[in-house]
A and B are shown apart, each in its own frame.
Chain A
Amino acid sequence: MTLVTTRPETGTARPYAFPALRRVTAHGGTVIAAHLPGQVLATAVLLLDASAARESAGREGTATVLAKSLEEGTKKRDSAAYALALEGLGAELSPSVDWDAFRVGVSAPAPQLAGALRLAAEAARTPKLDPEDVIRVRDDEVTALRMDWAQPGPRADAALRGDLFAAEGRYGRPLHGDPASVAAVTVDDVLAFHEQWMLRPGVLLVAGDLDGLDLAELAEAAFAGTTGQALSLDAPLGLTIPSARRVILVDRPGSVQSTLRIGHRAPERATPDYVPMTLAATVLGGAFTSRLNHLIREVKGYTYGIRGSYAMTRRAGRFEVAAGVQTAVTGPAIKDTLGEIRRTQDEGVTEAELAVARSWRAGQLSVEMQTPGAIAGALASLVVHGLPDDYYETLRREYLEATVETVSAAAARHLAVDGLTLVVEGDGEKIREELAEFGELS
């Protein structure tokens, strides 16, 4: 091997700076743009208040079918012409749905962004939604979900969600629906969802070199022809944690592994405790060196990997531990898992553990925000969760300055080992009996 060059030494860390933001209001919508000087690619994301939470009962998955139908052509051009127009600009469309929003993203070299955004808006506002196409997309989605749901995991996920959010309507059902609910989605459901939720202006997020981007032109592309006002925001769902543990067995006869999904509800993303909670969860189960992975994988050898984390959306959050363990050690693995959760809740974290979690979380923040697409995603979080413009700079500082006391206090406040729901998907015949010791079994 030839040594091409010597590796440069690391320099002194510069203070982190999130890109400068500009705002434009036009045609009833707002543009929020992050300036990335010298960046050739640019991203635009249309953020619409048309999340999965807007779907009707029994038709969960409607928004996902709509998202996947957007590239099937528009009122102006068929799917092939639409694909050619996008490709001609070197652009890529990425529609997606989550609990908080419907996003239609597009990225392209900066000079082509306005054209690409016009196409994205054309698909979002005036999709063709030919019945035959919608049915084909829906059937493909049902097939994909059936394959997915035949694997261990999705049924357990659904059981945990169903239990934690039993009283919360749509939030008690899977984000993208299940095979039965998607199969029940009709063409009319998709058309009605589009008509009802996708035509308000929304918010446009832009990330790129703003010296070469005309925000007024982008606003026009995103919002022209839209009608209606932004909807008022529903309050967070609130926090309920049961007084006793519950155990749910999802039978999977003959399974050689038990899939564990153990969790309880947690605050929504905008909680002021976000930083210390995240650090506590990192120590408990957020990294390879975490307490859970160390004990259950490295010491005991029960699993290939076990993770614990908070997942938080605008209106709801949850804490969850996920793992697949060998059937024969299902009981011992659960016992050890609960032990580490209890230890973290009762005793908090140590300075040595927190030092790793701090630098990892703060470092990941800049690793995760290198591309225009990632910056646009960060802007979306600001909008969805109502966070200030200097949020990411503050976030980094808060990670680095978090103390053992604040993180341990957050662990005590936001872990509830005695209020957990334990979902175990595995061979019921072999594991049912030993599960009873952990809580009321259903």
Chain B
Amino acid sequence: MYKRQDGKRIAQPDYIGSYGVDLAHAPAPLIVTATAKDGVDVETLEAGLGEVMQSLIDEPVTDEELNRAKALLTTSWWRQVSTVGGRADTLGRYTTQFGDPATAGYRLPAWQAVTADDITEAATRTLQPSSRITLTYLPEQGPEEHASGDAA
């Protein structure tokens, strides 16, 4: 989203992102957030985000995109297990979620084995508009009142 011309025009660069929430006993939500640039209405922003999500279904991710995602996940994985506290957290998490701490050992190779087709398939299964809920946060006051709320 950040890279698209459209994205640059409608969303604030530091306030856009997506992440998954790992839950042990319930379907895990994938959450996409964005904050509109000044003067952009919510419908335009939501349509832009919808378009990007649809593109994951319609256009295969490129090798470059896939490798970049894998590189970032690889680094964050090694960072997570580089302290004894991080290792303990990881073992606890995989024991809780999968019943076996040894499943932690499959995570990194599994990420590295993902293909562009896998992503298209997962996107087709999970990113359909029908399975989406959108929450919109709007300021209660007008923008002028906000601007005058300067720090004392």
Contacts and interface: CB of A to CB of B under 8 A. Distances in A.
A41 B75 contact: yes
A146 B151 contact: yes
B68 A87 contact: yes
B72 A150 contact: no
Given A91-B75, A150-B152, 5 more contacts: A80-B3, A89-B71, A150-B151, A179-B151, A370-B83
A213 to B, nearest CB: 15
B79 A371 contact: yes
B72 A87 contact: yes
Contacts of B35: none
A90 B68 CA distance: 7
A88 B74 CA distance: 11
A370 B64 CA distance: 32
A92 B151 CA distance: 32
A193 to B, nearest CB: 24
A112 interface: yes
> Interface centre among A2, A90, A92, A107, by most B CB within 10 Å?
A90
Nearest to A5: B101
B151 to A, nearest CB: 4
Interface string B71-87: 11111001100111000
Q: How many A residues touch the partner, as a band?
A: 20 to 34
7 contacts: A4-B101, A88-B67, A90-B73, A107-B75, A370-B83, A370-B84, A371-B83
Most buried by A among B67, B71, B83, B99: B71
Contact of B71 (A90, A107, A150, A371): A90
Nearest to A151: B151
Nearest to A147: B151
A88 B151 contact: no
Nearest to A79: B13
Interface of A: 2, 4, 39-41, 80, 84, 87-92, 107-109, 112, 146-147, 149-150, 179, 370-372
Interface residues of B, number: 23
B67 A370 contact: no
A371 B68 contact: no
Contacts of A39: 82
Interface in B59-103: 64, 67-68, 70-75, 78-79, 82-84, 95, 99-101
Contact of B74 (A2, A109, A370): A109
B71 A87 contact: yes
B149 to A, nearest CB: 10
B78 A88 contact: no
B100 to A, nearest CB: 8
A360 to B, nearest CB: 17
Contact of B72 (A90, A147, A370): A90
B75 A92 contact: yes
Contact of B78 (A2, A40, A91, A149): A40
A369 B31 CA distance: 35
Contacts of B83: 370-371
Contacts of B74: 90, 109
A112 B151 contact: no
Contact of A109 (B78, B95, B100, B152): B78
B150 A146 contact: yes
A428 B68 CA distance: 56
